[in-house]
Structure formats: structure tokens, C-alpha cells
Amino acid sequence: MDIDDCRGKLVDEAADAILISDANGIIRFWNPGAARTFGFTSQEAVGQSLDIIIPAGLRARTGRRFPGAQGERPLILPSVDQNAVGSVVRDWTGIPLGRMLASQTERALGLANLLSERVVGQDHAMTMIANRIQTSYAGLGAPEKPIGVFMLCGPSGVGKTETALALADALYGGEQNLISINMSEFQEAHTVSTLKGAPPGYVGYGKGGILTEAVRRRPYSVVLLDEVEKAHPDVHEMFFQVFDKGFMNDAEGRYIDFKNTLILLTSNCGTDLIMDMTSDPELTPPPEVMATALRPELLKVFPPALIGRTVQLAYVPLSKAMLGGIVKIQLDRIKKRIQGNHKIAFTYGDDVIEFIVARCTDGDSGGRMIDNILTNTMLPEMSVQLLEKQMDGTAVSAITVKAGESGFVYDFG
């Protein structure tokens, strides 16, 4: 056997021993038996095969596919690269460096579309938020200020909280990077100390404030101030410096940096006005006009200094078509959950979507009614039948949901 024949045979052996297939490029351990056949030890074979035995083109293609096959959280790292360092930095500091290194620019450019996939019917608000974030990522915004400060106004259940969750996931690597504070708990002036920490001599000194401690530990995060209109005016004034200067000193004098946060305030102020302006779809004014019309209503509750430091966004009520889009998103999440946990296919038809939308009769609840129907009706009914199948030892490969006359009908195949 000449050198070329030996090399060709060795390449074939290497392809079988190292790669599952050329299609997916997943690397295996070298087969010790194949290594000894050609005069290598296992250690030598691994080193030789990557540089000599496997053609350079095949190795390059495999190397390009390997990171994609691992995903964002690889279990084993072939080398210490920027992703490995980013993972350690994330664990130590709370800064989601791995996600930011991977696709910060690409994610910022497509942010409006990415947010609109989760927040249905509020495209104008998603565009405004995405524009501000793109300005910050391009380095054209004020470097000392937070990335953006937005006041989301509108009725309940139209996507204000979902916006915060979507932003935390898209920008900072997961919904765990959302700092959510219910401002209805701060209706008294003395509750300011709860947010930034108790001063010396007071009960709770040294424990840190709810807000300042959370931002200190997670400087890259979305800060959600929910139902901000219910907070005391002194609490409102506390945020002026944060919105202007991008920092706050806690009760112990520590510098708390907010410049890498995105701050969202939610409010139900002006709900009646928004409902009136959107009652006739053909006469609904542009979002900019609604935001301008909201200003007098907001000034009845908030000081002008607070309004001037925020961007007001009007969230419109959800139409039946928008509710249908939300139903599809929720059902797809259930589908993914069932597939991931049980390896069972989950299918549904348009009749299920229409059935759920028809039951969303409470306009004040918005999209929350959808979650109530799925959580309190569909999932419990389906869970009972699935558990009965498992107890009987019946194999289930697919679940189909249909709409009946009085409820959901389930077919376990």
C-alpha cells in the first residue's frame, strides 16, 4: 500500500471515528483501534488527525458548524475563547457578555421586528424603543444617561409588562435580567428609604435598597417601575437624577450606575382617553397624536419634570385579530414545552384560536384573559388525561386540540 492509499484509507477511518456525518459536524473521540492500526497512539492520532489526516476544508467546515451546534450555553468548550471568558464574567458580575459579544449589532438592527413577535399590536411603541436603543448602541446617545426612559401608558393587558420581558430577553440574555418593582407599595413618603436603603440610625441600615441593590448586582438590566402613578410624589422626585445623570447614591453613599439600564414606567393614566380615541378603528389617530393628547392627563398625576424626562408611548386596546396573534404565541409556547418535556407533538387548528378569542369578552383584561383560559382550562384538562395515559402505560406520540361546542376536545394519538 503506497502513501496515498494509506492516507485515503486513514481519512475514511477518521471520518468514521471522529465525525458522525458531514451534515452535522459533531466531533467524537478517536477510535483507539483505528489509531493503532496505522501506528499511532490514541493521543498522537487525535493530534495528527485534526491537522493532517482530515482535509483542511473538512476541518474548516466542521469548525464553523461546531459553535452553532453548541448553542449559546455549550457544555464543553474546545478552547478558552471570548465566549468562555464572557461566561465567567457573566457569572461573576451579572453582565451578560456572551450574548452581547455574539450579536449585539445584529440584534439591535432587528430589534423592532424581534419585539413585535412577542408584543402584538404595538408596533409603533416597539419601533420607538428600538430606535432609542439603536442610537445608544451606535454610540450617539448621551453616554452618562440610561439607554432609554419610557412611560408606557394604556389599559391593562395590552403588552406593557410583556415589553419589559421581551427587552430583557433580547438585550441582556434572559428574562432573569428584569428588575420589576411594583410602585403601588411606595405610596408613603418614607418608603423612599426602601428603594435606596435606610439611612444611618434607622432600621434596615446596611441591607441596601430594593432598587439600588438590584441594579448594583445587575448593572445590565431592564428596570420596570410598574403602576408608577400610585407612588408618592417624593418617590417620583427620587428618579429625576437617575433619568438625567444616570446614577444614584444609596443610603451608604455607594455610587449606583444606571447608564447600562433600560428604564420602563407603566401607567394606566389616560386609559379612558385612549379607549375613546381608538373606539372607531377608521378614526384612530396616529400614535404621535395620541401621545400628545395624553400629556394633559399625565400632568394631572405626574410633575412636569418627570414627564419631560420620559418618552410617552400610548398602548392601544387589542382587536380580535391582535388577540388571535397572542393566542397563537401562547399555544406555540405550550407546543414547545410539551415537545421539550415529553417528546410529544402538539397540534391545534384555527378553530381553537377563534374559540379562545370569542371567550375574551372582558375588554378591560386584554390579553390576560387568554392566559387565564389556557392556564385554568386547557392545561389542567390536558394534564389529567396525559397523566392517566402515563399511569396506564399508554404511549402518547401526539396531542391534537380541537374546539367543541362547550369546551376543548383532546385527541391523544
Q: Give first-to-last CA distance, the chain, whole Å.
A: 57
Q: What angle do CA 315, 321, 325 make, to 5 degrees?
A: 80
pTM for the model: 0.75
DSSP code of residue 14: H
Give me the phi and psi of 270, to 5 degrees please. Answer: 80, 10
**pLDDT for the residue numbered 94:** 64
**pLDDT for the residue numbered 26:** 36
**pLDDT for the residue numbered 118:** 92
How do the pLDDT tens digits run along the chain, 413 residues long?
444 554 444 445 444 444 333 343 333 344 555 545 545 454 444 444 444 444 444 445 555 555 555 555 666 666 777 667 777 776 776 666 555 544 667 778 889 999 999 999 899 999 999 999 999 888 888 889 999 999 999 998 899 999 999 999 988 888 889 999 999 999 998 888 889 888 777 777 778 889 999 999 999 999 999 999 999 999 999 999 999 999 999 888 899 999 999 999 999 999 999 999 988 888 889 888 998 999 999 999 999 999 999 999 999 998 888 999 999 999 999 999 999 988 999 999 999 999 999 888 766 677 888 989 999 999 999 999 999 998 988 889 999 999 988 889 999 98
DSSP code of residue 231: S
**pLDDT for the residue numbered 30:** 47
**pLDDT for the residue numbered 210:** 92
**pLDDT for the residue numbered 63:** 53
Shared fold status for 110-314 and 320-412: no
Question: So what CATH class is 110-314?
Answer: alpha beta
**pLDDT for the residue numbered 287:** 85
| Gap between the Cα atoms of 299 and 303, Å rounded | 6
Q: Are strands 262-267 and 148-153 parallel, antiparallel or unpaired?
A: parallel
Question: So what CATH class is 320-412?
Answer: mainly alpha
**pLDDT for the residue numbered 363:** 62
| Gap between the Cα atoms of 44 and 96, Å rounded | 38
To the nearest 10 degrees (0 to 180), the angle between helices 160-172 and 111-118 is 130
Length of the chain (residues): 413
- Number of neighbours of residue 178 by Cβ within 10 angstroms: 21
Taking the domains of the chain in order of start, what are their residue ranges?
3-70, 110-314, 320-412
